[in-house]
Structure 1
Amino acid sequence: MPLDAFVLALGSAFLHALWNLILGRERDPEAATAIALVTAVVLFAPLAIWRFDADPRVWPFIAVTSMLQLIYFAALATAYRHADVSVVYPIARGLAPVLVLLVGVTMLGTGASAGQAAGVCLVGLGVMLVRGIGSGHADGRGVGAAFGVAVASCIAAYTLVDKHGIEHASPVVYLELGMIPATIGYVGFLLLTEHGTARVRTAARPLPAAAGILSFVAYALVLAALVRASAAAVASVRETSVLIAAFLAAPLAGERVGPGRLSGAALVVAGVALIATG
């Protein structure tokens, strides 16, 4: 893997972990997510217009990925209200490639190597350590794990959709087109809830807005890395975000991250690397 591609993928991993930690430490993650989404969509709209390149065949994919992105952000924000980022994030990011692999094997007939099978086992063990073997629900781990699985399912689903949808539009345009309906739906629903307008107004601060910008920049860095290296290599490096989030959760979000949770995050990263390169 070229050094420049490695640096770009690692930078994307760091920024991805960072924007999740920013939203996870907010008092109202749902409202903060609304601010992040609106900021990102508005800020990157001029670039998407300038580089607009899409054919009509993209619209069915946009419709499906928008719905999945809406569910993804709703589940992610709700998860961060009830559980630590260092619990939700490794489960969500780790299980997603496992689910993609399982769909490929069971429904698409792609098959799986011994290395990928070993990767699935490592991810499973890592998730158990992150979740905490025999832990109760008092610290939110049970709820966090459940929402983590829901988020992972959304990631896996829109990954499979986007793999084909991106063939009909440039990446930035595809991302913007998919995020606009998701953002409108998310913010619209939140505003209709009790005190929704006040919640969004309170969350309208620089940090949530910065999280939205970081999410798009992280994606741009991945695109740049993919130009320079294989998708498998980039995916492997990018998943170090799981370990980065676990290490930064204590100093940045004030979470209690013990050796078990860190070890679990490390196993998740190793398992995803095997799945990506297997």
Structure 2
Amino acid sequence: MNGVVLAAVLGSAVMHGAWNAIAKAIPDRLVSSALIGLVYLIGGAIGCLFLPLPAADAWPFLLASASVQTLYLILLTAAYAKTEFGRAYPLTRGIAVLGVTVIAVAFLGERLSGIQLAGVAVVAGALLTLAVVGIGRTSIHGVLLAVAVGATITAYSILDGVGVRVSGDPLGYASWLFLLQGLALPVTCFALSRDKRSFLPVIRRNAVRGGIGGVLSLVAYTIVVWAQSVAPLALVSALRETSVLAAGLIGLLFFGERFSRWRTVATACAVVGIVAIRVGT
């Protein structure tokens, strides 16, 4: 993993933490997901007009990933409605780091150095620690939802990691992925909404925040898809999930969530893990 890929993935991690905070801040979780989907629809459609069509072998992965990511966003916003941002976010990302690493190494033939494996383990352990410290004060329902979100992240990360490598063009793959999600998300969210009469007015009231969150999400994941085409999936996943460092600061500054001594230690350990991943390359 060269310095350009490293910097790009870390930049996408900061954007990822920011758009998740915006999703948390929008009161209606289905509206939050729908707004992100609308941005995906517009961005994906523009990309599809100018970028190459993915190879035929990539389409099963595209269709499966779009379905899983639609479920992911709906579960994610539900988890945010049930528990605090600083707990749900690192739990979902820590599970994904472990899941992607195990599958990539055991089944996809990826090889990591001992230092890199240790770095991934430290990052995952730090993220899980950030999630479980003081768990008695939070909703068990929210924690279970966060675990389910982590499972969907693992699934779509593997699907896209394999799909983008057979697609022939990472940006074309990302464009069609966003287009498919952009079609599915708003329709699914509207169908699940209990108060359909107020759905569009709430969309309009939150359009600016949701639009910003959608753009950050689109750019952040486009970077990840590109990085997956040139670097090991386990390393991209571990570095991407360092977005919890930004998320912890956002939770402290904007949601008034306490940043305890244990959270500070876990955050420092995550940074050490990142350094190990880079040094072990």
Shorter-chain TM-score range: 0.7 to 0.9
Q: Residue in 1 aligned with 2:174?
A: 175
Q: Could you tell me how far apart the structure 2 residues matched to 1:117 and 1:247 are? A: 25
Task: Give the one of 160, 163, 171 matched to 2:161.
Answer: 163
State whether structure 2 residue 145 is matched by structure 1 residue 151.
Answer: no
Matches within 5 A, 1:72-111: 72-107=72-107
Deviation at 1:51, TM superposition (A): 1.2
Q: Residue in 2 aligned with 1:49?
A: 49
Change (3 A) 1:146 1:214: same
Q: Residue in 2 aligned with 1:264?
A: 266
Q: Residue in 1 aligned with 2:201?
A: 201
| 5+ residue gaps, structure 2 | none
Q: Which moved more, 1:152-161 or 1:171-180?
A: 171-180
Q: Residue in 2 aligned with 1:130?
A: 131
Q: Could you tell me how far apart the structure 1 residues matched to 2:4 and 2:130 are? A: 33
Deviation at 1:251, TM superposition (A): 1.4
The Cα offsets for residues 32-58 of structure 1, whole Å up to 9 and x where unpaired, read as 121111123213421221113322222
Q: Could you tell me how far apart the structure 1 residues matched to 2:68 and 2:9 are? A: 24
Amino acid at match of 1:219: Y
Q: Could you tell me how far apart the structure 2 residues matched to 1:100 and 1:23 are? A: 24
Change (3 A) 1:197 1:54: farther
TM-score by length of 2: 0.81
Deviation at 1:23, TM superposition (A): 0.7
Amino acid at match of 1:151: V
Deviation at 1:59, TM superposition (A): 1.8
Amino acid at match of 2:151: S
How many residues are matched?
274
Change (3 A) 1:19 1:197: farther
Q: Could you tell me how far apart the structure 1 residues matched to 2:220 and 2:240 are? A: 10
Task: Give the one of 239, 247, 250 matched to 2:252.
Answer: 250
Matches within 5 A, 1:206-217: 206-217=208-219
Amino acid at match of 1:257: F
RMSD: 3.2
Q: Is the 8 A contact 1:126 1:264 kept in 2?
A: yes
DSSP 3-state at the match of 1:10: helix
Amino acid at match of 2:255: A
Q: Which moved more, 1:172-181 or 1:13-22?
A: 172-181
Q: Is the 8 A contact 1:130 1:265 kept in 2?
A: no
Q: Could you tell me how far apart the structure 2 residues matched to 1:233 and 1:139 are? A: 31
Q: Could you tell me how far apart the structure 2 residues matched to 1:224 and 1:168 are? A: 11
Deviation at 1:246, TM superposition (A): 0.6
TM-score by length of 1: 0.82
DSSP 3-state at the match of 1:257: coil
Q: Is the 8 A contact 2:10 2:240 kept in 1?
A: yes
Q: Residue in 2 aligned with 1:187?
A: 186
Deviation at 1:76, TM superposition (A): 0.8
Q: Which moved more, 1:63-72 or 1:166-175?
A: 166-175
Q: Could you tell me how far apart the structure 2 residues matched to 1:109 and 1:57 are? A: 19
The percent identity for this pair of structures is 26
Amino acid at match of 2:185: Y
